[in-house]
Structure 1
């Protein structure tokens, strides 16, 4: 969950206004249902699908999908508009030579003094996901199948996927994205438990 950078292109005033729009933020944090809430679902395949659908509330949230685009162009905001200024992840996902992501995105989220941009997101691992890991615009069932496919998940086993979801510090950014940005539901611990329970019940996927 990160966004790469490329050479900035001139933007129209309309694009700048779009980027400046504040996000609508609900009162309080949305919670995830615990694994125990799914214990009564049978057969096990149906329970597995239900567990993944709940975890999917995090996976399909704009905080995550904004950084998993299909076109190497990160998105911004809950409306998922194309990043302003115009940037791309480049071959490494960290931006091309001359304008790395770190030109704007530091190791931690940086507060600003501007009225329209409360903070600039940051994380030590800030990067754009490879296009083969694109989630933006895809149904949850397709994302689920991607997560299980080593050719499209960075060569990870299901155990490694769970560890990534439950422990990775860039994934963790989604729960503490900074002032002015809506966090993903629940906690990383609860999310990791849902992913583990999904694996334990057979890692079944919703219908695409």
Structure 2
């Protein structure tokens, strides 16, 4: 099982996970795979290093509200999604989350921030799903906000809230690689047919 089970196992592994989390291979690493569909699947599995990272999964829950931290613990204080993915009236995400990360004044850590700060829609919840299920979601305009492949690439490669994952503030492990490199992997996946894994 991918997703949260894999992340939990990696966290339990300790420093080895942190080392692995800094690695994201570029498209050139997959050029030796001669069958295009197999190369496309391999590229998507590389994308999962970012998509299934706690920085992304924390804001892509299937049920309930967000989680937080590398261990994906329940959000503290407790919050709910609300009608527009911005939290409940009187306790919107922006009540605590500003336009940029804010370091704690009393010790290590920070409050994450970006404009806007919000949960992904329920239709794009990923926690506990297989790579095949996540891939199908990403490609489905009825669930991904009406995005075609070009718009999906733009979202992954240029959107600032996605980009926050590489600059998450003190006390959080960034997603591997860089947004630019991730965008190159996404484009290579699209160029090879945007194939999905079988499970």
Q: How big is the shift at 1:166?
A: 0.1
2:42 to 46, 50, 54: 50
Distance (whole Å) between structure 1 residues aligned to residue 168 and residue 87 of structure 2: 21
Distance (whole Å) between structure 2 residues aligned to residue 167 and residue 118 of structure 1: 26
- In the superposition, the TM-score normalised over structure 2's length comes to 0.88
Runs of 4+ in structure 1 deviating by more than 6 angstroms, as ranges, are none
Alignment size in residue pairs: 185
Q: How big is the shift at 1:26?
A: 3.0
2:130 to 139, 156, 162: 139
C-alpha contact (below 8 Å) 1:174/1:183 kept by paired residues: yes
Find the structure with the greater CA-based Rg.
1
Distance (whole Å) between structure 1 residues aligned to residue 19 and residue 173 of structure 2: 10
Distance (whole Å) between structure 1 residues aligned to residue 87 and residue 65 of structure 2: 11
SS at match of 2:88: coil
Structure 1: any 5+ residue segments left out of the alignment?
Answer: 1-22
2:60 to 50, 57, 68: 68
Q: How big is the shift at 1:106?
A: 0.4
1:109 to 98, 101, 115: 101
Q: How big is the shift at 1:96?
A: 2.1
Q: Deviations over 1:126-151 (max 9, x none)?
A: 10011111001111111001000111
Structure 2: any 5+ residue segments left out of the alignment?
Answer: 1-13
Q: Deviations over 1:29-62 (max 9, x none)?
A: 6121111111110210000000111111000001
> Equivalent residue for 2:74?
82
Residues 29 and 101 of structure 1: CA distance in aligned 2, closer, same or farther (over 3 Å): same
- In the superposition, the TM-score normalised over structure 1's length comes to 0.85
